[in-house]
Amino acid sequence: MSQTNIPDDIKVHGVYERTVNKDWMDPHIEELQRDGFTVVRGALNSEQLNQTREGLDYLYDFQLKEFGEENLAAIKDKYIVRSMLAYDDFFLDHIALNSKVLPIIKKVLGTNISLSSQVGIMSPPNDILYQTAWHRELQYQHFTSSRPIALQTLICVDPFNATTGGTFFLPGSHLHEPFPSNEYIRKNEIQIIADPGDVVVFNALTYHRAGVNCSQSVRRAINNLYTLPIIQQQINISRMLNGKHKDDPFLAGLLGYRWETADSVLAWRNAHLKK
């Protein structure tokens, strides 16, 4: 994007600097800068969506049995699936590395990026998600940054609308340190209406909340949190993967091999000697 004074069919007066979009990603990046979120349509086809639903349901059940429903509820992690890509390559190849969305992430954050987390959200028809409370993905943080330091993709696996509880966003809230007033929120919150396969890309400092699912069925979604490597991974995906993808330079960074904390001074120095 660049600042020029090229006029087009939109009438202006006294404007000599304006944004001009150069490729298909730029309109999304402009919305990310101004609003803090943008919707990319049709990033997954119906076959990929079926595989996503099947994989999510299977892994949710697996993790539910592994940890127990009561324990999940006790740590406010009910209806959540974690790190699916560590169990099933599909969630790496088509979700975290999604060919329609990853180019936008790379254009904004660069190629030195880490996947802080990949989370499946199984919003239930008859219960309330913990994520219905307003939050920033970078929790407890009340600063803004001159450039994005973390972006999130929220993949709509089922329809997102007023009935199923599409996610709400507060436009521009990544640009302001404090959380706004009740009056401002009620007037300005925007609910995402989207089809399965659409993806909301947002700055991790943009305030958002899940809607309440009033439909008869589960409303599934997946979020991927991409950060500059100055932010720690939530779960050490590289250790779960046990060396897999370590030799791919981009994946070594994304999955956590590259910027892991060294165990000692000697280990840190030896690792640098090898480079």
Residue 223 touching ligand AKG (CB under 6 A): yes
Taking alpha carbons only, the member of 79, 36, 30 closest to residue 168 is: 36
Structure token pair of residue 92: 């790496």
83 binds, among ligand AKG, Fe ion, none (CB under 5 to 8 A by kind): none
| Nearest-angstrom CA–CA distance, 240 and 146 | 34
Does position 138 interact with ligand AKG (CB under 6 A)? The reply is no
Judged by CB under 6 A, does residue 221 bind ligand AKG?
A: yes
Residue 167 binds ligand AKG (CB under 6 A): yes
The CB-of-221 to ligand AKG minimum distance in angstroms stands at: 5
Looking at 137-145, 172-180, 192-200, 226-234, which segment touches Fe ion (CB under 5 A)?
A: 137-145
For the bound state, the minimum distance from the C-beta of residue 210 to Fe ion, rounded and expressed in Å, comes to: 8
As measured in angstroms, the least distance from the Cβ of 159 to ligand AKG is 12
- CB-nearer residue toward ligand AKG: 2 or 217: 217
Closest residue by beta carbon to ligand AKG? 210
Residues 35-54 that bind Fe ion (CB under 5 A): none
In the list 52, 114, 123, 238, the residue contacting ligand AKG (rule: CB under 6 A) is: 123
Nearer to Fe ion, 98 or 167 (CB): 167
Residue 123's binding partner, choosing from Fe ion, ligand AKG, none, with beta-carbon cut-off 5 to 8 A by kind?
ligand AKG
Interacting residues toward ligand AKG by CB under 6 A = 121, 123, 131, 137, 154, 167, 208, 210, 221, 223
Interacting residues toward Fe ion by CB under 5 A = 137
